[in-house]
Amino acid sequence: MEGAGRDLKRRSLGGACLAHALHDGYTDLLYVMLPVWQAEFGLGYAGLAVLRSLYYATMGGLQVPADRLAARWPIRVSLAVSTLVAAAGFCVMGLSGGLTGLCAGLVLAGIGASIQHPRASLLVAQAYGGAARGPLGIYNFAGDLGKAVFPVAVALLLGVLAWRPVAGLMAAIGLATAVALALVLPRGALAAAPVRAGRTAGVGRGFALLMTVGALDTATRMGTLLFLPFLLEAKGGTGTTTGLALALVFSGGAFGKAVCGWLGERLGVVPCVVATETATAGLVAALLVLPLGPTLIVLPLVGLVLNGTSSVLYGTVPDLAPRGDVGRAFALFYTAVIGSGGLAPIAYGALGDWAGSGVGLMAAAATALTIVPLVLGLRRPLARIERENAQEQARL
């Protein structure tokens, strides 16, 4: 029985990581496509942001209803179907003859992507119980692997193929992944979300503040990534350079999630977030003045602090879950951060159209600084949770 339990945990984590890598890779390879779409369809920064948000806002806005619907299905079915729908979206993009077909494909892919995050993260949390923080870190790291691999692969493919055949290849990879998930993931329905006792007093406001901080952190990241390809082009970079740069950012981000998770455990959530957001603001501002070579050198560090905060915030969701409902808390948190990622670039893009990409990038850096006073408000609810945990340990 013990061996069967370990196998169930490995399959749950392995399948969740595979789904996360594929879906996050889908999400971030779109950045490499933006300059290509701008050239073909004659779009400005705001137009590109709207195009990007068709995928991102759809994925974020459907988190809660998709999570409720998928909770009725076996986890193997929900993740496989969501991956299949996302792959179908890329297939529609590849077959599209114009902007309308591209938009339809982005929306369809966003619908498919809406299920993965809350279901897969809850699957890992339930498979490992109280020891889930480490496996959840591995799950997060897998997403960053997808972010690092897919953009550079697409950038290299765009050097020899048009973007529509590349989208078709991405659809084929998604289809293969859906089949693999159906084979790897354990059968049966997902168990009900675990409810933590003693999580009712005062955590509601703390969780709302956590979602606000997460949304602003995501806005900072999306604004920076929106302007990064065009900043590199202005410095003399090519499409291949953009793919390499994004790989450097996301590779640094993967390392940052591990490092910041470790620092969050030892230094505390609030000091860690203050440090990463302050460093993010300074480094993003530095990108404006550095030449191309030094920019590429510093990008892994940018990725470390730009993505590292999310690991700290993500790991705090179960502690501040209202009424102890971890599954719903994950869905709500993803709604906030993904919705922010879909809507914030529109504002940054409009600002970039009006005042230039440099001003847009500085606005992203300023957003990081606004998080610092807000996160200080988490000290009281987190201290309350720590006291409750200490009391529970004392009773045991």
Residue 173 pLDDT > 80: yes
Mean predicted lDDT score pLDDT of the chain: 82
Contact in structure between 378 and 270 (CB atoms under 8 Å): yes
* pLDDT given for residue 237 in this prediction: 75
Model confidence at 50, in pLDDT bands (50, 70, 90)? confident
> What CA–CA distance (Å, rounded) separates 46 from 321?
35
Please report the pLDDT score of residue 195 as a whole number: 44
Superfamily of domain 2-395: MFS general substrate transporter like domains (1.20.1250.20)
CA–CA separation, 82 vs 111, rounded Å? 8
Span 306-338, pLDDT tens digits = 988 887 887 778 778 777 677 778 888 888 887
CA dihedral angle for residue 194, residue 64, residue 32, residue 294, rounded to 10 degrees = -50
**Spatial CA neighbour of 241 closest among 142, 158, 359, 166:** 158
Give the C-alpha separation, 207 to 174, whole Å: 34
Q: Terminus-to-terminus CA distance in the chain, angstroms?
A: 26
How far is Cα 230 from Cα 45, in angstroms, rounded to an integer? 10
Query: Given this model, what pLDDT does residue 10 score?
Result: 82
- Residue-wise pLDDT for 183-210, tens only, equals 888 775 445 444 444 454 455 678 888 9
Question: pTM (2 decimals)?
Answer: 0.73
